[in-house]
Amino acid sequence: MNRLALTAAAMLFACACSTIKEDRGPCPCRLTVVCGDEAGAGNGILLSEWADDKLYMKNVDAGDMREGISNYVPRVSVAVCAARGLVTNQIKGHCIMIPEGKGADSLRCHYSIVDCRDEFASDTARFHKQYASISLVMMGLDESGESPFVPRVEGNTCGLDMIGLIPITGSFRTYPRRVTPGVYRVEVLRQADSSLSLELIYEGNVVKELSIGQYLDRIGYSWLKEDLEDVTMTIDLAVGKLRIEVAGWKVGDSFDMEI
């Protein structure tokens, strides 16, 4: 009887173990992400993967990413995000935020939804320009070539959600950097609205405000393009005129407007 009891107990234990193993669910998916763009070694990329929460986030070498970065994820749809060009902007969750008083970094990003329900899945990261470089050219200056005005740019977009590459609404204010006498430049991220504006400050007072966002709307500039285009604003202080030109657009897409 004891031998029979032991045999029965062993059988019950084996059945229980078998049940436990069956209830563990499917194995995770091995997701591999490769860089589809040309990039030299050492050119850092922030790679992250998201489902209900963060699955993976790491700064990786672009050279390594060309060979493929692999890790295991649940068998669900996974958001793959990659960003390059991060310098001063900050990461908060899956959002890239512009610090107060700073301009945007020259960000190029990738975003896709990958079906990871099978044993293996892959994605090729192709990076697209998420910023516009705005050059401000002052004309009609004195012999020194220096502008008496200090330019300041303001808007309502302070960051970018890497999931979906969606603009984040919030206060944005920065002073464009001086490139050469009379020429200034600033980078802004994909905008949520047309609130972007330029202020000209003289001796601490705002003497003129120009609605960059509305001017760009007027000439058909789109913040929804996959790769944003750069903008040149020429202000002739002597005659009080503004001209806006967009890189890559045919001649004739610029116009003059009285200030």
- pLDDT tens digits for range 36-50: 876 544 468 999 999
Radius of gyration of the chain (CA): 27
**Contacts for 200 with CB less than 8 Å, ≥ 6 apart:** 149, 150, 151, 206, 207, 208, 209, 210
CA distance 59 to 82: 9
CA distance 122 to 119: 11
Question: Per-residue confidence at 249, pLDDT binned at 50, 70, 90?
Answer: low
Q: Which residue has the higher pLDDT, 218 or 48?
A: 48
Q: Check: CB of residue 131 under 8 Å from CB of residue 187.
A: yes
- The per-residue pLDDT for range 77-110, each reduced to its tens digit, is 999 999 999 999 999 999 999 999 999 999 999 9
Poorest-confidence range of 72-86, 144-158, 220-234? 144-158
Judged against a pLDDT cut of 70, whether residue 251 lies above it is answered with no
Q: Check: CB of residue 16 under 8 Å from CB of residue 8.
A: no
Q: Which pair of structure tokens corresponds to residue 174?
A: 């920065």
* 29-128 under CATH 2.60.40.2100, yes or no: yes
For residue 242, the model assigns a pLDDT of 82
- The per-residue pLDDT for range 15-28, each reduced to its tens digit, is 443 333 444 457 99
Q: Check: CB of residue 125 under 8 Å from CB of residue 46.
A: no
Domains 29-128 and 131-258 share a fold: yes
Amino acid at 11: M
Judged against a pLDDT cut of 80, whether residue 203 lies above it is answered with yes
For residue 255, the model assigns a pLDDT of 47
Q: Which residue has the higher pLDDT, 145 or 28?
A: 28
Question: Per-residue confidence at 256, pLDDT binned at 50, 70, 90?
Answer: low
Q: Give the percent of the chain with pLDDT over 70.
A: 81
Q: Where are the domains of the chain?
A: 29-128, 131-258
Judged against a pLDDT cut of 50, whether residue 117 lies above it is answered with yes
For domain 131-258, give the fold: Immunoglobulin-like (2.60.40)
List of E strands, the chain: 29-35, 44-50, 54-61, 69-73, 77-84, 90-92, 95-97, 108-115, 120-125, 128-129, 131-139, 150-161, 166-174, 177-180, 183-189, 197-202, 205-210, 231-236, 241-246, 255-258
Q: Which residue has the higher pLDDT, 77 or 250?
A: 77
Q: Which residue has the higher pLDDT, 245 or 188?
A: 188
Give the DSSP letter of residue 222: -
